[in-house]
Chains A and B, each alone.
Chain A
Amino acid sequence: AQSVAQPEDQVNVAEGNPLTVKCTYSVSGNPYLFWYVQYPNRGLQFLLKYITGDNLVKGSYGFEAEFNKSQTSFHLKKPSALVSDSALYFCAVRDPSNSGYALNFGKGTSLLVTP
């Protein structure tokens, strides 16, 4: 079975500080990993993904994520947070060796960036 965990319900960061939103995964094969962001009353927007290759993946709005196979993690990071980054962030995983094809999402982490 494939799954993803986001251990924090909420992350609070001051504007200008670096931010990290944590994600760990569990799959039977090599994972495909994704991060999405959801602003209030909106659908999910794709931020970045890891398929293969360089462990550090860069995405939209200055976000990046690091794939760590030994720790089975894919944490989302940004060097300097903006108030406008405040939103709900979802990590998702797909196991290409699994017969299921849709993404499995974590429960989400609410990011609050204060001025």
Chain B
Amino acid sequence: ETGVTQTPRHLVMGMTNKKSLKCEQHLGHNAMYWYKQSAKKPLELMFVYNFKEQTENNSVPSRFSPECPNSSHLFLHLHTLQPEDSALYLCASSQEWGVGTEAFFGQGTRLTVV
């Protein structure tokens, strides 16, 4: 147990659906991240939030919309996704952004777009 909890663990959605992924951390961290993990590819950083402010958006399509209402919670809102968006979506948090702090990861949400 890393202190970072993601729900749901599995999600199947149609291309016209709207759904949200949730991440919660109980570590008192102030930076949170969304990563996408696809088979045979490096982890792709999607979004970074530091003290609830979005600091990075790595050219992610607008069908992915993040929300960070407070330092403990992070959401990823999904709408009109494509089959190639099927992947494992990982949330992570760290004490600070930058410097030498390691990130702690949730178990991920396995997303399948049909």
Contact = CB atoms under 8 A, between A and B. Distances in A.
A46 B45 contact: no
B43 interface: yes
Interface of A: 32, 34, 36, 41-46, 49, 51, 90, 94, 96, 100-108
Contact of A102 (B48, B100, B105, B107): B48
A17 B98 CA distance: 37
Q: Give the one of B43, B48, B56, B99 with max A CB within 10 A.
A: B43
B99 A104 contact: no
Contacts of B41: 107
Interface of B: 2, 4, 6, 31, 33, 35, 40-43, 45, 48, 50, 55-56, 90, 92, 97-100, 102-108, 110
Contacts of A41: 107, 110
A101 B48 CA distance: 8
A44 B48 contact: no
A101 B42 contact: no
Nearest to A105: B43
A107 B42 contact: yes
B90 A43 contact: yes
Nearest to B45: A102
B97 A42 contact: no
